[in-house]
Amino acid sequence: MRSVKLKIYGKVQGVYFRVHTQENARQLSLNGYVKNCPDGTVEALAEGDDKNVEAFIEWCRKGPIEASVLRVDIHESTVKNYSGFAILRD
């Protein structure tokens, strides 16, 4: 089991990034969350099988067609055993 926190930079808000991220995470059987940040980035935390987490990271580097990802910062995180993959809203 692996857990990573991602910070995604670029044109990633207002382009359905969170919805597509949630769909991708669910297809990969990952748990965690995705949320918009006040600085215009998107934060995602994903937990699951290492292979699926790697596939999720690769997807986040591209994002949905409407997005333009400039950079993804990746930090290993402590597994917290989330249930499901949620879109967090302020």
- Residue 84: per-residue pLDDT: 98
For 30-85, what is each residue's pLDDT tens digit? 999 999 999 999 999 999 999 999 999 999 999 999 999 999 999 999 999 999 99
Please, are residues 1 and 49 in contact by the beta-carbon 8 Å criterion?
yes
Q: Which of 26, 36, 81, 89 is catalytic?
A: 36
Given 2, 18, 31, 61, which residue is catalytic?
18
Q: What is the pTM of this model?
A: 0.95
Topology of the domain comprising 2-80: Alpha-Beta Plaits (3.30.70)
Residues 2, 47: contact at Cβ < 8 Å? yes
Between CA 65 and CA 15 the distance in angstroms is 9
Is position 81 annotated as part of the catalytic site? no
Whether the predicted pLDDT of 90 surpasses 80: no
Distance CA 6, CA 1 (A): 16
Query: What residues contact 80, with CB distance under 8 A and at least 6 apart?
Result: 3, 47
Catalytic residue check, 61: no
Q: Domain spans of the chain?
A: 2-80
